[in-house]
Amino acid sequence: MIAKESSDPVFSVKTSARRKAAARFVAVGVSAAALSLAVPAVSSAAPVTVIPGGPTIEVPELPNLELPGAPTKPKPKSTPKPKPKTTEPAKPNVPAMPNVKTSTGYVALAVDGAHTIYWWKNGEFIKEMPISMGSNAHPTPNGVYHTKEKYRDMYMDSSTYGVPVDSPEGYRTYVEYATRMSWDGIFIHAAPWSVQQQGNTNVSHGCINVSTENGKWVYDNVGRDTPIVVRGTVGGQYTGD
């Protein structure tokens, strides 16, 4: 059965009002839906550009790209600070090395006025030692000696060169670290009994007296045929070897 529209004026006015209200409701719903589509989700949607009266265009987010050929600022080079030069000052009052030949690299110079023996190795000064050489009664002759045999310990006996042991000038003394300088009885050797005089005065019978430590150093390091030059004594000139 088909219902006919009533011709009643009141009924027509009410029907028209209902239709207009329904149309407004539909329009509001459509606008809300369109608005929800136009606004992107905050957390996941890509940025959009909205042109009034036009379509909505999605613009993808561009990655950070470096332009080719773009000048880059060079990093400043760090200039290292120069290291201070460490130069060991020359030893004061060290005489020049004697101009003598050596087969061992070592050269020694015993200076009476300084009561000191100086040592060089391969042309470089390395060591000095206080010494006591022969007294005025038994002076050590000046000249160039060369080391010979060595004795870890020995007895030095004045009778070996004609002075009896029991005479006023005689002696028989136990010594350590003795290195022979001449065949007539001159040695450089440890003499702990004359340490107080070493570096100050001459009290030996002609040998070069040094401390036990220095006597050991000569014994351990200085090879046979090393030149030892004696200079400045009152003992004349050494001629033998």
Residue of 115, 146, 205, 207 with catalytic role: 207
115 is catalytic: no
Residue of 115, 146, 189, 205 with catalytic role: 189
Q: Measured between alpha carbons, how far apart are the two ends of the chain, in Å?
A: 160
- Indicate the pairing of strand 187-190 with strand 208-210: parallel
**At 237, which amino acid appears?**
Q
205 is catalytic: no
Chain centre distance of CA 167: 61
Distance of alpha carbon 193 from alpha carbon 212, whole angstroms: 10
In DSSP notation, 128-139 reads EEE-B-B-SSSP
> Would you tell me how many other CB atoms lie within 10 Å of the CB of residue 196?
10
Residues annotated catalytic, as ranges:
189, 207
